[in-house]
Amino acid sequence: MRHHRLFTPGPVEVREEILQTLSTPQIHHRSKEFSELYASIQEKLQKLLYTQNPVFLFPSSATGAMEAAVTNGVKKKCLNLVNGAFSKRWHEITKMNGVPCDMLEVEWDKAIKPEMVEERLETGEYDAVTLVLNETSTGLMNPLKEIAEVVRKYDDVFLFVDAVSAMAGVKIEVDKLGIDMCLAGVQKCFALPSGITVASISERLLERAKEVPPRSYYFNLPLMHKYHLKNQTRVTPPIPHMFALDAQLDYIINEEGLENRFARHEKMAGIVQEWARKYFDIFPEKGYESKTLTCVRNTRGISVKELNEELMKHHVRISNGYGKLKEQTFRIAHMGDTQVQDIKGLLALINDILGLE
Ligand SMILES: *Cc1c(COP(=O)(O)O)cnc(C)c1O
C-alpha cells in the first residue's frame, strides 16, 4: 500500500532517519546505557521547555498524563477550562476519577479569556486549573500567558497545561509562566510516532501529590520521581521511542534550532490561514488561530470526505472536522517537520481539486 503523507493534526509525518532509530537494538532499562539515554533526553527536554523542572516520560499516550495531572495534583477542587473536545475530555477524566471539579465552558469557536478564569478563582473554591493550550479539535490557541498570569496570583492554585499539539512547535516557557505540569504526546509537533508522552513536573506538584490520597498506581508522580532521580523509569518504557526522541531532540535543538522551528511554524500558519480566509473562513475567533493547525470553516459547503479521497489519490491526507464539526470544518496540520514548500504544494493541490483560482 502506498504511503499517504500526513497533514493531519496527529499522528504526523515522521522523517525516514527517525523511523530508522526506532530499530536500534534494545538495551536493558536498568543498565548504565539506559540511564545515559534518559539523562540525555532529560537535558534536552528541559531546554525545549525552558525549565529546571524534571520532565517525566510517560509510557502512554497523552491522555494518560492528563489523567496523572488531576489524580495527583488536586486536593480541593479542579477547574476544567473547556472550549473543545480535548479540554472536554480533561473534564471527563477528572470526573471519572472521582476528583471534585467544575467546568468553565465557552463556545468552541471562542477562546478562554483571563477575566473568566479570574472570576472563578476569586471564589477560593479551586486549587487547580486545567487548560488545553492548543485545541486540536477547533484549531484554537488559548491565551496561555494571560491565563497563567491570573493563576499565578493565587498561591495555592496549580496550573496544568495540555500542550499536546503545541509543544516543540511554539515556544512555551514553563518556568516563567509557572506551569506545574506541561504535557505533550510526541505524535504532533515533535514529529515522532505515537506512544510516549513527556510532562514537566513542578516541585510543589510533587509535594502535593504526596499529600493527595493515592488514586493511581500506574500514574503515581512521587513513585515516578524516585526512579527519575536514578535516570530511570519505574516501568519498562517504550525504549525504541526513547531512541527516536533523543535523536529528534538533537535535530530540533542543534540542527534546526528552537527559534527557527518556532518561526517555521508561524510562517506555515500564516500561509494556510491567508489561503483559508481567501477561499473559506477560519473556525476560531480572530486573534486566537492556532500556529500548528488550521481549522477551516467549510463556507463553500464542499464534501470534505470527497476532497480527502481525491487528496489520497495524490498520496496526501488532511483531517475532517472533529466530532460534531465533521463536514462543517476541515483541518490542515502544519506542524512537526512539515516544511513551507510541503504546505504550499498541498494548498495548490487542493485548489486544483476544488477548481479554485
Ligand atoms: C491529540 C491530543 C490529545 C490526545 O492525545 P492521545 O495521545 O491520543 O492520548 C490530547 N490533547 C490534545 C490537545 C491533543 O491534540
Q: In whole angstroms, what is the distance from residue 272 CA to residue 289 CA?
A: 11
Q: Which residues of the chain have pLDDT under 70?
A: none
Spatial contact of 294 and 9, defined as CB atoms under 8 Å apart: no
CB atoms within 10 A of CB 77: 15
- What the block records as the C-alpha cell of 131 is 487548560
42 Cα to the center of ligand 1, angstroms: 22
Q: Is 104 helix (H, G, I), strand (E, B) or coil?
A: strand
Say what the pLDDT of residue 357 is: 87
Q: Is the CB of 63 under 6 A from ligand 1?
A: yes
Can you give the residue ranges of every domain in the chain? 5-12+258-354, 25-254
Per-residue pLDDT of 200-227, as tens digits, reads 999 999 999 999 987 889 999 999 999 9
Q: Is the CB of 337 under 6 A from ligand 1?
A: no
Of 155, 147, 152, 243, give the one whose Cα is nearest residue 195: 243
Is domain 5-12+258-354 in CATH 3.30.559.10, yes or no? Answer: no
289 Cα to the center of ligand 1, angstroms: 18
Q: In whole angstroms, what is the distance from residue 151 CA to residue 159 CA?
A: 7
Which of the listed residues 12, 164, 319 should we mutate to test ligand 1's pocket, taking the one with most ligand atoms within 8 A of CB? 164
pTM comes to 0.98
Of 229, 250, 228, 249, give the one whose Cα is nearest residue 237: 228
Say what the pLDDT of residue 156 is: 97
Say what the pLDDT of residue 176 is: 98
Q: Is the CB of 216 under 6 A from ligand 1?
A: no
Per-residue pLDDT of 144-154, as tens digits, reads 999 999 999 99
218 Cα to the center of ligand 1, angstroms: 19
Q: Do 5-12+258-354 and 25-254 have matching folds? A: no
Q: From residue 255, how far is each of 56, 57, 193, 248, 261 by CA, in Å?
A: 24, 23, 20, 10, 10
Closest residue by Cα to atom 2, ligand 1, is 164
Atom number, ligand 1, closest to the C-alpha of residue 163 = 13
CATH classification (class only), 25-254? alpha beta
61 Cα to the center of ligand 1, angstroms: 8
- What the block records as the C-alpha cell of 103 is 467546568
Alpha-carbon radius of gyration of the chain: 20
Pairing of strands 55-58, 197-201: antiparallel
Say what the pLDDT of residue 2 is: 81
Of 285, 350, 296, 290, give the one whose Cα is nearest residue 322: 296
Instruction: Report DSSP letters for 201-264, one per residue.
Output: E-HHHHHHHHHSPP--STT-HHHHHHHHTTT--SS---HHHHHHHHHHHHIIIIII-HHHHHHH
Q: Is 275 helix (H, G, I), strand (E, B) or coil?
A: helix
Closest residue by Cα to atom 12, ligand 1, is 164
Q: Is the CB of 185 under 6 A from ligand 1?
A: yes
Say what the pLDDT of residue 111 is: 98
CB atoms within 10 A of CB 114: 17
Continuous segment of H or E residues that includes residue 38: helix 32-49
